[in-house]
Amino acid sequence: MNDIDIESFLNELYMKGQINDSKSINKIDKYLNITPDTGKFLGLLAQITSAERILEVGTSNGYSAAWLALCTDEAVQITTIENDSKKVSAARENFLSTGLVDRIKIIEGDAPMILSEMNKSFDLVFVDMDRKLYLDILEDVIRLTRTKGIIVFDNAVSHKEEMTGVFNYFNGNSQFHTYLAPIGKGEFVALKKW
């Protein structure tokens, strides 16, 4: 894909998400995509860290995973977890239409269970799922992040009350360097120093 195709594909996908969400009455049917500036930010982090392996928790229809794939080299592998089969199908269709299907592996199922069974390490982990489970998955997310790797949590401003446990865990924890980036819905970034 050339730069224009990438930009129009991402714009189109974002607009589809916005339209879907405005029509959906139930939260479960909404795609709840990241904002485009968050996509750019994630793409930048992936490039800065020379990420070769990226993990996403919460695929939805694949918008954020598409950003990560389209901002990085073809050798970069993205694994993304989603428990809603309709969203898995939507994401798969979107990845197929852009040739990203070989670079993005979707694991369908419950993230806490899947993460607890994973053993590979990742350079960048993006967490964007049911916030009630963030504390449950935290230890596995940290275990799966390599030293000097980065963990990003979405919704750190839009739902900051629900993120209190996560903030408390990281703040004052000398293993991590953290930053709350005022981008999109608020991106809480934690660098694993050792």
Ligand X SMILES: C[S@@+](CC[C@H](N)C(=O)[O-])C[C@H]1O[C@@H](n2cnc3c(N)ncnc32)[C@H](O)[C@@H]1O
Task: Name the site residues for ligand X (rule: CB under 6 A).
Answer: 32-34, 58, 60, 63-64, 81-84, 87, 110-111, 128-130, 133
CA dist 141 and 136 (Å) reads 10
Quote the least distance from Cβ 175 to ligand X, whole Å.
26
| Residue least distant from ligand X (Cβ) | 58
Distance of CA 115 to the CA centre of its chain: 14
- Smaller CB distance to ligand X: residue 130 or 162? 130
CB 146 within 8 A of CB 121: yes
For residues 118 and 133, which CB has a smaller minimum distance to ligand X in the complex? Answer: 133
Q: How far apart are CA 162 and CA 168, in angstroms?
A: 11
For ligand X, the closer of residues 43 and 58 by Cβ is 58
Closest distance to ligand X from the beta carbon of 28 (Å): 7
Contact yes or no for 66/100 (Cβ under 8 A): yes
Nearest distance from C-beta of residue 77 to ligand X, angstroms: 17
- For the bound state, the minimum distance from the C-beta of residue 70 to ligand X, rounded and expressed in Å, comes to 13
For ligand X, give the closer residue by CB, 76 or 114: 114
In angstroms, what is the minimal distance from the CB of 46 to ligand X? 14
For 52, the 3-state DSSP assignment is coil
Q: How far apart are CA 81 and CA 120, in angstroms?
A: 14
Give the distance from CA 1 to its chain's centroid: 22
**97 versus 171: smaller Cβ distance to ligand X:** 97
Q: Which is nearer to ligand X, 36 or 169 (CB)?
A: 36
CA-CA distance, 29 to 87, in Å (whole number)?
9
Give the pairing of strands 187-192 and 122-127: unpaired
- β-sheet with 122-127: strand ranges across: 104-108, 77-82, 53-57, 122-127, 145-153, 187-192, 176-181
Query: Shortest distance, CB of residue 121 to ligand X, whole angstroms?
Result: 20
